[in-house]
Amino acid sequence: MRVRGLVLYDGVMSSPDSPTERVTGTYPVKRGLAEMLKGGVIMDVVNPEQARIAEDAGACAVMALERVPADIRRDGGVARMSDPEMIEGIQAMVSIPVMAKVRIGHFVEAQILEHLGVDFIDESEVLTPADEAHHIDKYKFTIPFVCGATNLGEALRRISEGACMIRSKGEAGTGNIVEAVRHLRSIIGDMKKITQADSAELFEWAKRLQAPLSLVQEIAETGWLPVPMFCAGGIATPADAALAMQLGAEAVFVGSGIFKSDDPSPRARAIVEATTHFRDASILAKVSRSLGAPMTGIGMDEINQRFSERGW
Amino acid sequence: MLVGVLALQGAFAAHELALAECGVQCRQVRVAADLDGIAALVMPGGESTTMSHLLVTSGLFDPLAQSIADGLAVFGTCAGMILLAAEVLDGRADQVSFAAIDITVRRNGYGRQLDSFEADIEVPKLESPFHAVFIRAPKVERLGAAVEVIASHEGVPVLARHGSVFVASFHPELTPDYRLHSLFLQEV
């Protein structure tokens, strides 16, 4: 059964001769965790202390990484998977799910993160790609993956490789929401058009999107991706988070926006409130007060490297 | 009948679909005013510490605790079970719960996501097994005498009730099988 944006069981039922046996790492089990993160805020953290601040503020998960995107952008060089010791330190500090990033195509980094028992892997354009043609075969892993997308074709290619969650790429480390808005509008806009297409036009859509026909047909039926879609890239204020949610994102990732601001803890709390009460202007006005300065942010014409162009 | 779904964070949309399939109207509950007129409430899976935090900041905790004390029927799944339990192990020190059912649960008692699993469970009230999905699930470690176990898996209670309070450590909203939602609604 398929309905808009919801987890629906399409896996293999356990065998009749041992019906109560546990089966791990199935697609429904992996996608199930993505469903549990809806309506929440996933915060980038670079050490256990920040992870604690994030959990205290009501984050539904943390993303462990060595440097936030703003610093990766500033420092240049090759950005890689984080040190396992740092990830373990964060796992020991908090009880909420811990995610971590691997380079696009770097399946060995993913094997290491799975061994560490992280709860979700982000195959991320924020790190320097390891493979210029291939993403990871995500079906091979017990741990679910999230991947970024700038448009519907990219989203569907990632889903066909086994991604259990899609996020907009936005432009990480800029504190500028404009690219995430562009990506959300592009993905959702094309899905709306596909629901209006007749069955013959779906072949053309699949060709144009360079995506599997079966996934295009599924969108025509349900109007939505078969996995949750979150927003990432450039969220710096409670209003940014609520904007992403009103546009149709089902949860938000906040990278540099919290720990590059003047006063991270109240800002983190405010973004959590704004994500839950995203349609309630009175609550949004209340939580937006007196948060100190947000991260400075940069305009798209000021940046040399667009992370969102990484991935294929 | 109008049924509320706690919509602070988590898998509330999946529960809304299940309830709609059962033929009832739903309302997302985020603030105290949303409680007016609901006949029952579902507390979804998600992150219990996040929901606990938002229950306090939204001012929803006290009125909802009063409604439950006054007999509002509630069904808590996974994180929702944690929110309803009398005692929570491995929680945060500041985590609140409604203590609406006399059980002790351990957060993530079945392990991290690597250990999340699906399995058929025998539910004596149903004609055939129910296919259950457990995600970083809480584990019941103690059961009060008044609590009725509806189903167990590997000898551990996974579905239980006390009066009009129902709890499940798995996710009946993640499978297109609405028998457990119906079972709950029959009691409302």
B173 is catalytic: yes
How far is the C-alpha of A46 from the C-alpha of A49, rounded, in Å? Answer: 8
Q: Which of B15, B16, B26, B78 is catalytic?
A: B78
pTM of the model: 0.94
A233, A169 Cβ separation under 8 angstroms: yes
Residue range B7-11: average pLDDT?
A: 98
- Band of pLDDT at residue A10, cut at 50, 70 and 90: low
* Correct CATH for B2-187 of 3.50.30.30, 3.40.50.150, 3.40.50.880, 3.30.1370.10: 3.40.50.880
B125, B152 Cβ separation under 8 angstroms: no
User: What's the pLDDT score for residue B165?
Assistant: 98
**ipTM of the complex in this document:** 0.96
**Token pair of A281, please?**
């202007």
Looking at residues B149-161, what average pLDDT do you find?
Answer: 97
Q: What is the pLDDT of residue A77?
A: 87
Asked if pLDDT for residue A298 goes beyond 90, the answer is no
- Interface touch B174/A20, C-beta < 8 Å: no
pLDDT for residue A12: 47
Minimal CA separation from B2 to chain A, in Å: 21
How distant is the alpha carbon of residue B8 from its chain centre?
Answer: 14
Is residue A87 very low, low, confident or very high in pLDDT (cuts 50, 70, 90)? very high
pLDDT band at residue A19 using 50, 70 and 90 as cut-offs:
low
The CA-atom distances, in angstroms, between B5 and each of A149, A292, B38 are 31, 35, 10
B119: chain A residues, CB-CB within 8 Å: 14, 19-23
The tokens of B168 are what? 């499940």
Residue position matching structure tokens 């929803």? B60
User: Is the per-residue pLDDT at A74 higher than 90?
Assistant: no
Kindly tell me if the per-residue pLDDT of A7 is higher than 60: no
A8 touches chain B (CB under 8 A): yes
Residue A34 has pLDDT above 90, yes or no: yes
Least confident of A19-28, A157-166, A295-304, B33-42: A295-304
pLDDT at A14: 44
Task: Give A158-193 pLDDT, tens digit per residue.
Answer: 999 999 999 999 999 899 999 999 999 999 999 999
User: What residues of chain A lie within 8 A of the CB of B115, using their CB?
Assistant: 24
Give yes or no: B162 in active site. Answer: no
Q: Is the pLDDT of residue A1 over 80?
A: no
Mean pLDDT of chain A: 92
Burial class (CB in 10 A: 0-12, 13-18, 19+), A198: exposed
Residues of A in contact with B78 (CB under 8 A): 36
Banded model confidence at residue A2, pLDDT cuts 50, 70, 90: very low
Higher pLDDT, A13 or A167: A167
Residue in B58, B131, B176 nearest the CB of A1? B176
Residue A21 pLDDT class (50, 70, 90 cuts): confident
Judged by CB atoms within 8 Å, which residues 4-63 of B form the interface with A?
7-14, 17, 30-31, 45-47, 49-50, 53-54, 57-58
Confidence (pLDDT) at B94:
94
Q: List CB contacts of A189: < 8 A, sequence separation 6 or more.
A: none
Put simply, the answer to whether B118 touches A59 (Cβ < 8 Å) is no
Amino acid residing at B15:
H
- Position A152 scores a pLDDT of 98
Query: What per-residue confidence (pLDDT) applies to B87?
Result: 97
CB contact under 8 A, A61 and B17: no
pLDDT value of position A306? 87
> Quick one: pLDDT at residue A66?
87
CB contact under 8 A, A97 and B113: yes
- Percent of residues, chain B, with pLDDT higher than 70: 100
**Chain B environment of A29 (Cβ under 8 Å):** 116-118, 133-135
* B156: Cα separation from own chain's centroid: 17
**Which of A7, A114, A250 to probe by mutation at the B interface, max B CB count within 10 Å?**
A7
pLDDT level of residue A251 (50, 70, 90 thresholds): very high
Measure CB to CB from residue B174 to each of A32, A59, A117 and give the nearest one. A32
| Contact criterion met (CB < 8 Å) for A33 and B136 | yes
A32 touching chain B per CB within 8 A:
yes
Report the percent of chain A where pLDDT is more than 90.
Answer: 81
Measuring CA to CA, which residue among A106, A222, A91, A87 is closest to residue B112? A91
Return the HEC string of A6-69.
CCCCCCCCCCCCCCCCCEECCHHHHHHHHHHCCCCEEEEECCHHHHHHHHHHCCCEEEECCCCH
For position A13, what pLDDT does the model report? 46
Residues 112-131, chain A, touching B (beta carbon < 8 A)? 114, 117-120
Residue A295's pLDDT band (cuts 50, 70, 90): confident
Point out the residue among A19, A117, A272 whose CB comes nearest to the CB of B114. A117
pLDDT score for A16: 45
**How far does B47 lie from chain A, in Å, by closest CA?**
6
**Domain boundaries in chain B?**
2-187
Reply yes or no on whether A193 is catalytic: no
Query: Is there a contact between A33 and B135 if contact means CB atoms under 8 Å apart?
Result: yes
The predicted pLDDT at position A15 comes to 44
B92·A273 Cβ contact <8 A: no
Per-residue model confidence (pLDDT) at position A299: 83
* Stronger pLDDT, B176 or A17, i.e. the higher one: B176
